[in-house]
Each structure stands twice: as C-alpha cells, then as structure tokens.
Amino acid sequence: MQATFKVYRFDRETGGKPGFQSYALDLPEDATVLDGLFKIREEMDGSLGFRASCNRGLCGECTLRINRGGRLACITRIASVLTKDREVSVEPVRNVLVLKDLVYDVETLLWKKIKSVRPWLDPARPEPEREYVVPDEKLRPVRNAMKCYYCGLCDEGCSVIPFDKTFVGPAALTKAYRFVSDPRDGARAARLRALGEPRGIWDCVHCFEADEHCPRGIEPTQRIVDLRDAAVAAGIKSGTKNPQVARHYDSFAASVRKSGWLDEGRLALETWGVRRIFDLLPIAWRAFRRGKLPVPYRHPKRKGAERIARIFEKVQGKHS
C-alpha cells in the first residue's frame, strides 16, 4: 500500500519555522499510522520525534492529530484514514506547546491539572481489616472513570481551554469524579467544595465536546454534570471564591419552584446583587428601552406551579 505521510516538523533547537514534511511510504495493507512513523524514523529520517509505548491502544502515549482528528496512532489503520490523494497528515494535538515535531507538552496540558485535584483516595476511616464490603454497582462508575488513559483528547477538544488554559478541564474533573463517586473515599464534601472554586466544575460550559472526543466512552462531560449534581445534592453550589454561582443556582431554583418558570429579572438581581447591577445598568437600560428587561418578581405563576413545587419538596425531602 502506498501512502504519503505529511508530518509536522518543528525543532526549537535549530529554530526555523514549523511546517509539514512529506514522506512517500510503502507499507503492508494493515499498517497503522504508528508503523508509518517508525518506518520514517528507522529508515528515512532519524530526526523525527514522536512518542510511543504499548502499541496496542491501551496507554495513550501516541495520541496525535491524524487527518485533523485526535486519535491514537498505534490503532489507526492507515487504510481507514487515507484521503483519496493517498495522504495522511500527522501533527500534534491542538492547544499545546510543541516541544519537538510530534512531541508536545503533556505536563501542562494534562499532568499538572490531574495533580491539582487531590488525585488519591482519602480513605473513610476506620479502614476495614480486609477488603471494603461494597456492592459492585457502586464501583462501576469508578471503573468507568478509571478507563481513562490520559490521552488528553477531551481537554484538546474542550470549548473553554482555548480561551482559558487555566480551566482545570474535563480530564482532571473526570479524575476528580473517580474519587467523588468512590464510596471508600472519605473526603467527598471537601472535594466538591474545592471543585466548586473558580476554574472548576462551574466553569464548564457543558457543551459535550469532551463526550464527543473521548475514545473510551467515559463521557467526561456527563461526569462533570454528575459532579455538579452531587455538589448540589450536598448543598454545595459553588466554591468560596465564586459565591455568585451559588446565588445563581438558588435563585434559578427558587423561581422555578415558585412559579414553574424562570424569572430572569430576579435571577440577575439575586445573582449579582444591587451593587453589581450598577455595572450592568447601561445594558439594562438598553434592554429596558427595547422591552427586553424582565421585571423581577412580577413573574406570573404558571398553571401547574404547585406541582413543580411538589417535585422540589420531594427531592429536598430525600436530603434531609
């Protein structure tokens, strides 16, 4: 099988500008992209830098952008990605610092963030003599989250990170979820409080890009939503540095509970308080003049509101 590999090259050492270099290859029919990269390095150009380890889709080391999609090179068959011009483009993932060619800074993209979520079990004391006695279905969410092999594709596809590299990101939050969902962990409330701080769970836009990008079906976005739901159930609706997030939740819930629908005017006021509203006055005035400003508290109670309130009561009853 003939294929032309267009590989991203960049060497900080020799300076020079990044670019794509073409290599014409002849490989077996079932060859993978990683096979192609090795052929280049071993037979054509020993200076090509790329990472690889397990060669069977289990360790995440060879995560690259292949024909504009994030994948593991070792299990991507060339035949399945070859364009009609018989080309395959290979480059680092997006939104990362490139160190050399296809070797990029995973420390900043991923490892540092993973380390920031207290990523070890904080055992609930006292520990039993033997194994913890736990129903298996309680460990399934833990195992699901632990399928993660840190390919970083969820962070790479995240909507927020290109705008704000300090957002802790779906990979680290999935790691955090692994502990929050583990019945053997004793630090749940503290974790949810820490995760509720800025750059954590409330900074996620729940756009579901992470779910689309995860090659292991872990659904990181759903895990973040699970964390938010767990926080709310524990009465923790923000961290300490972003109290407006908790006020926003409470106000939203209160108006839906009261009238069945959202009272946006009340929401703005209760989230931000009167002082902050002054900053928003120019826009509020413009909105008011266009008849767009919902008047707070003068919110009609819709039919069925008392039924909605009942639902809130029942749910609250579960947590008291």
Partner 1 sequence: MRCAFYPGCVSRGGCPELYPSAIKVAARLGLELEELTDVGCNGAGVLSREVSDPINARTLAKAERLGLSTVMTICSTCTGVMGQANIKLREDPVYRASMNHEFLADEGLEYQGTISVKHLLWILNEDYGLDRLRTAVKRPLRGLKVSPFYGCYIRRPDAIVEGKPQRKQYLERVIEALGAEVVDFGGKGKCCGFPILTANETNSMAMVAAHTGEAKGKGADCMVTPCPLCHLNLDGSQPRAEAQKGEKIDLPILHLPQLIGLGLGFSPEELHMRRHIVSTRAVAETVRLLT
Partner 2 sequence: MPRHEVLIVGGGIAGMRAALAAKERGADVALLSKVHPLRTHSGTSQGGINAAMSRDDSPEAHAFDTVKGGDYLADQDTVELLATAASGALVELDHWGVPFNRDGDGRLDLRWLCGAARARACYVDDMTGHAILQVLYEQLLKADIPTYEEWVTTRLVLDEGACVGVVALEMASGSLEAFSANAVVLATGGCARAYEPTGAAYGVAGEGVSLAYRAGATLMDMEMVQFHPLGLRGRGLILTEALLSHGGYLVNGNGDRFALKYAPSYGERAPRDIVARAAEEEILSGRGIQEFVGLDLRHLDGDQVKRQFPLTAHLVKAQAEVNLTTDTVPVRPVAHRTIGGVRVNADGATGVGGLYAAGGCAATGVHGANGLGGDWLLEALIFGQRAGASAAERGQRLSRGVEIQLEEEKRRIAEIADRPASLERAGTIRVKLGQTMRQYVGILRDASGLEQAANTLQELRARSQRAGTTNRGKRYNYELVGSLELESLLTVAEVIAAAARAREESRGVHVRQDHPSRDDARWLSHTLAFRRLEGATLSSKPVVITKWKPEGRRY
Which residues contribute to the site for partner 2 (CB under 8 A)? Answer: 11-14, 30, 32, 38, 41-43, 45-61, 74-75, 99-101, 103, 106, 111, 115, 119-121, 123, 127, 129-136, 139, 142-143, 146-147, 149-150, 179, 182, 184-185, 216-217
- Choose the one of partner 2, partner 1, none that binds residue 156, judging by a C-beta under 5 to 8 angstroms depending on kind: none
In the complex with partner 2, the residue whose CB is nearer, 65 or 237, is 65
CA angle 34/37/40 to nearest 5° reads 150
Structure tokens at 183: 């019945």
98-100/15-26 β-pairing: unpaired
- Choose the one of partner 1, partner 2, none that binds residue 290, judging by a C-beta under 5 to 8 angstroms depending on kind: partner 1
- The site map against partner 1 for 123-162 (x = CB under 8 A) is ------------------------------------xx--
Q: Considering only residues 202 through 241, tell me which ones interact with partner 1, judged by CB under 8 A.
A: 202-209, 211-212, 219, 221-222, 225, 228-229, 232-233
The contacts of residue 109 (CB under 8 Å, 6+ apart) are 93, 95, 96, 152, 155, 156
Q: Which helix (H) or strand (E) holds 313?
A: helix 305-319
Contact 277, 269 (CB under 8 A): yes
The rounded distance, in Å, linking the Cα atoms of 162 and 179 is 27
The rounded distance, in Å, linking the Cα atoms of 173 and 3 is 39
290 sits near partner 1 (criterion: CB under 8 A): yes
Contact 218, 147 (CB under 8 A): yes
Residues interacting with partner 1, by CB under 8 A?
Answer: 159-160, 163-164, 167, 198, 202-209, 211-212, 219, 221-222, 225, 228-229, 232-233, 242, 244-245, 248-249, 252-253, 256, 260-265, 271, 282-283, 286-287, 290-292, 294, 302-305, 307-308, 310-312, 314-315
